[in-house]
Amino acid sequence: MGPHAFPWGASILQVSVVKEGAGKRALRLGDAGQREILDYPHHAGAISSSASAFIFPTDTNGGERAMVPIGNYERVMPLDILPTILLRDLLAGDTDSAQALGCLELDEEDLALCTYVCPGKYEYGPALRSVLTRIEQEG
């Protein structure tokens, strides 16, 4: 058994397998995103015809980058707020501005799509949780 054992049984309906990232790829510009799912269609992979050929590996293709406001947060945010400014304030830890922009009405799951489309690879759910915890502690 052990700590990583999985209880297989009749109630299991689906199992997902994710390919482990193979590290750095040489000449990354050669494929130009041909087999990647991205929100912004300004690359050669956007004209790919087969959606079943996409691979979702575990590697992140580099470290964290700067937050780039290119309009992708506005496309995926279901609420009527200013997501780019709010997300910037969450990352900076500015509780006053985040409250003014409506962070008290959000939950971590509300920012999941923003995390998915972020070119800077930031996790906005934990950033929101830390800001909400600070607001609660400070009163």
Q: Are residues 70 and 133 in the same domain?
A: yes
Q: Are residues 125 and 94 in the same domain?
A: yes
Q: Are residues 77 and 97 in the same domain?
A: yes
Q: Are residues 103 and 77 in the same domain?
A: yes
Buried b vs exposed e over 26-49: b needs ≥16 C-beta within 10 Å?
eeeeeeebeebeeeeeeeebeeee
- pLDDT at residue 7 in the model: 67
Has residue 18 been placed in a domain? no
Q: Are residues 65 and 115 in the same domain?
A: yes
Has residue 122 been placed in a domain? yes
Could you read off the pLDDT of 55-101 as tens digits, one per residue? 666 665 666 677 878 888 999 988 888 999 999 999 999 999 999 99
134/103 Cα distance (integer angstroms): 12
Q: Are residues 95 and 84 in the same domain?
A: yes
Has residue 8 been placed in a domain? no
Overall average pLDDT of the 102-127 stretch: 90
Q: Are residues 121 and 72 in the same domain?
A: yes
Only one residue has tokens 């006053």, namely 96
Has residue 42 been placed in a domain? yes
Q: Are residues 118 and 66 in the same domain?
A: yes
Q: Are residues 113 and 81 in the same domain?
A: yes
Which domain covers residue 128, as residue numbers? Answer: 61-138
Could you read off the pLDDT of 38-61 as tens digits, one per residue? 555 555 555 555 555 556 666 656
pTM: 0.62
CA 127-132-134 angle, 5° bins: 95
